[in-house]
A and B are shown apart, each in its own frame.
Chain A
Amino acid sequence: MSERLQNVIEKMHSEFEIEVETFRGENTLFVKAADLLNVMQALRDQHEFTQCMDVTAVDYYPAETGRFHVVYQLYSMPHNDRIQVRVRLDGNAPTIESVQGIYPGANWREREVYDLFGIIFNNHPDLRRIVMPQDWVGHPLRKDYPLGYEEVQFTFNFDEIMKNKPHPRD
Chain B
Amino acid sequence: MSDIREVSVDELRHLVSDRALSGETMLLNMGPQHPSTHGVLRLLLELDGEIVVNVVPDIGFLHTGVEKNMESKTYQKAEVMVDRLDYMNTVGNNLVYCLAFEKLAELDVPPRAQAIRVILAEIQRISSHLLWLGTSAMDIGAMSTFLYGMREREMAMDIFELVSGQRMMTTFIRPGGIWRDVPVEFEAAVRGFLKEMPRRIQEYEDLLLTNEIWLDRTKGIGVITQEECLQYSLSGPVLRATGLAHDLRKKQPYMGYDQYDFRIPTRTEGDVFARYRVRVEEMTESLKIIEQALNKLPVGPVKSNNRKYVPPPRAELGVNMEAMIHHFKIWTEGFKPPVGHVYTAAESPRGELGVYMESDGSGKPYRVHYVTPTFANLQAMPIMSRNQYIADLIGVIGSIDIVLGDADR
Contacts and interface: CB of A to CB of B under 8 A. Distances in A.
B246 A141 contact: no
Contacts of A147: 68-69, 71-72
Contacts of B367: 58-59
B342 A23 contact: yes
Interface stretch (A1-9, A12-20, A76-84, A157-165): A76-84
What bracket does the count of chain B residues touching chain A fall in? 35 or more
Nearest to B367: A58
A51, A71, A107, A128 pick with most chain B CB within 10 angstroms? A51
A50 B251 contact: no
A36 B292 CA distance: 47
A71 B342 CA distance: 11
Majority secondary structure, B binding face: mixed
Nearest to A84: B343
Contacts of A75: 233
A131 B232 contact: no
A130 interface: yes
A107 B381 CA distance: 13
Nearest to B65: A140
Contact of A80 (B68, B104, B251, B340): B251
Nearest to B339: A23
Interface string A87-104: 000000000000000011
B231 interface: yes
A105 B376 contact: yes
B233 A105 contact: yes
Contact of A73 (B14, B67, B69, B354): B354
B369, B371, B379 pick with most chain A CB within 10 angstroms? B369
Interface in B350-383: 352, 354, 356, 358, 366-367, 369, 371, 375-376, 378-380
15 contacts: A24-B103, A24-B104, A50-B230, A53-B233, A54-B356, A58-B367, A105-B233, A105-B234, A107-B379, A108-B375, A109-B375, A130-B60, A131-B409, A134-B7, A135-B6
Interface of A: 23-24, 26, 28, 50-54, 56, 58-59, 71, 73, 75, 77, 80, 82, 84, 103-105, 107-109, 112, 116, 125-126, 128-135, 137, 140-141, 145, 147, 169
